[in-house]
Amino acid sequence: MANTVNHSPAGEGQFASRLFSQLAKSQPGRNVILSPSSIRTGLALAYLGAEGSTADELKEGLQLEGAGKSEVAQQFAHLLAKGQGKDEDGPKLNYANRIYVAQQLQLAQSYQDLVSKNFAAAAENLNFSQSVEAARRINSWVEEQTHQQVKDLIAADSLDGNTAAILVNAIYFKGDWQLIFPDYGTLAREFANYGGQKVSVDTMSQEDYFRFAELPELKAKALELPYFGSDIVFLIILPQDEQGLAALEEKLNGLDLNEISSQLARRKVKLQLPKFKFEFDVPLQPALEELGIKKLFGPEADLRSMLRESGKLRISEVKHKAVIEVNEQGTTASGATFVKAELESLVLGEEVLEFTADHPFFFAIKDSQSTFFLGHVSQL
């Protein structure tokens, strides 16, 4: 069976949910955004070079059960292909993954072949002892891959002659809403931050048909904003209680977001959503260790399949940074023009539901297969 690898939504969804839960709990008052699919892809690069219990931990932690390395690589190649050569009008989605390995260590040809075929030139030697130049090389590559959105991922002072390998991953997403928000609907409205402080923020507004549901078991409601020309959606889960985000996220831990999406139905909704832009970067080692991925970072790391000769290699850092901007046009950079197609005529007297995101909420950018981003807005 060529297709036994657990790259099913369940495998990725479980990893996404557990990782997000770890990070959200550790940063309750901070706006969080991360890309589970990007992080998992980057770590799959390490898995392809790992052996023994290091490989077992990665396979388990990333939920990659049941396949050989070449099958795992093929599955990820399929995921990465989703972002390439898309319809010009649809969202842009680019993954960037690379392992930088100290110059004195030679990468094994078989590893190079496996990753360059499936992950597009993903391993490179670098002289870490020249830390400023090494950081510049890494950062400019990431910047280029993310259309200048993600800058300064690695600080020069985190690299030195003892750095063995750095795993870098980035993702860029830009999508326009299927239903753009009219500029005239954006007004200053009140938002209750984490902790209760009220602030005035530019809040977008529109009334239209959206997939929506009340979720009494989560004490929340959910709504999906679709992106134009794509099956990717922006899912918002808004707790009923103003300060109910932590309790909601506790319940979401381990839950498959597709189960929530399946409960949504087309309803007429008056939607109010704040404009926001923020970036989030975090060293992932502590959260990954909580998920059982520990050996990768320690002296007993076994990454011998990555190297030509049997040098000792461990991953010294896994760094992730994501940037998000949500505005009237869509998500991330704006500027494309889009003529809205006429919707079916509004039924007179139909009940209009309210969805007012005026306090901390959870969001995801996803399709039925992958979770591209997870995040929460705690304060504006």
Return the domain boundaries, the chain: 9-175+278-324, 177-277+329-377
> What is the maximum span of the chain, computed from C-alpha positions, in angstroms?
74
Above 60 in pLDDT, residue 84? Answer: no
Task: Name the band, by pLDDT with cuts 50, 70 and 90, for residue 4.
Answer: very low
CB-based contacts of 148: which residues, under 8 Å, 6+ apart? none
Q: Residue 177's closest CA among 33, 331, 324?
A: 331
Dist. CA 214–CA 217, nearest whole Å? 9
pLDDT at 65: 57
The pLDDT of 209-213, averaged and rounded, is 96
The fold of the 177-277+329-377 domain, in CATH, is Alpha-1-antitrypsin; domain 1 (2.30.39)
CATH for 9-175+278-324, among 3.40.50.300, 3.30.497.10, 3.40.50.20, 3.40.50.2300? 3.30.497.10
Above 90 in pLDDT, residue 344? Answer: no
Q: Between β-strands 317-326 and 165-176, what pairing exists: parallel, antiparallel or unpaired?
A: parallel
Task: Name the band, by pLDDT with cuts 50, 70 and 90, for residue 5.
Answer: very low
The DSSP code for 359 is S
The pLDDT of 224-241, averaged and rounded, is 95
Stronger pLDDT, 313 or 200, i.e. the higher one: 200
pLDDT at 249: 95
The pLDDT of 238-262, averaged and rounded, is 93
Task: Name the band, by pLDDT with cuts 50, 70 and 90, for residue 198.
Answer: very high
Average pLDDT score, the chain: 84
The pTM of this model reads 0.87
pLDDT at 236: 97
**Phi, psi of 82, deg, nearest 5:** -60, -35
Q: CA-based angle 144:147:151, to the nearest 5?
A: 70
Dist. CA 199–CA 189, nearest whole Å? 8
pLDDT at 345: 38
Task: Name the band, by pLDDT with cuts 50, 70 and 90, for residue 6.
Answer: very low
The pLDDT of 266-289, averaged and rounded, is 90
3-state class (DSSP) for residue 56: helix
pLDDT at 274: 97
pLDDT at 20: 92
Phi-psi region of 68 (alpha: psi -120 to 50; beta: other; left: phi over 0): beta
Render pLDDT for 140-190 as a digit per residue (tens, 0 to 9). 998 888 888 888 888 898 888 888 888 887 788 888 999 999 998 999 999
pLDDT at 342: 31
Above 70 in pLDDT, residue 3? Answer: no
pLDDT at 9: 47
The DSSP code for 179 is S
Above 90 in pLDDT, residue 356? Answer: yes
The pLDDT of 293-307, averaged and rounded, is 87
**Phi, psi of 55, deg, nearest 5:** -65, -40
Above 90 in pLDDT, residue 251? Answer: yes
| Among the ranges given (39-53, 213-227, 329-343), the one the predictor scored with the smallest mean pLDDT | 329-343
pLDDT at 1: 32
CB–CB of 181/205 below 8 Å? yes
The pLDDT of 206-229, averaged and rounded, is 95
The pLDDT of 8-35, averaged and rounded, is 83
Q: Where are the beta strands (DSSP E) in 5-144?
A: 32-34, 92-102, 123-126
CB-based contacts of 28: which residues, under 8 Å, 6+ apart? 194, 246, 378
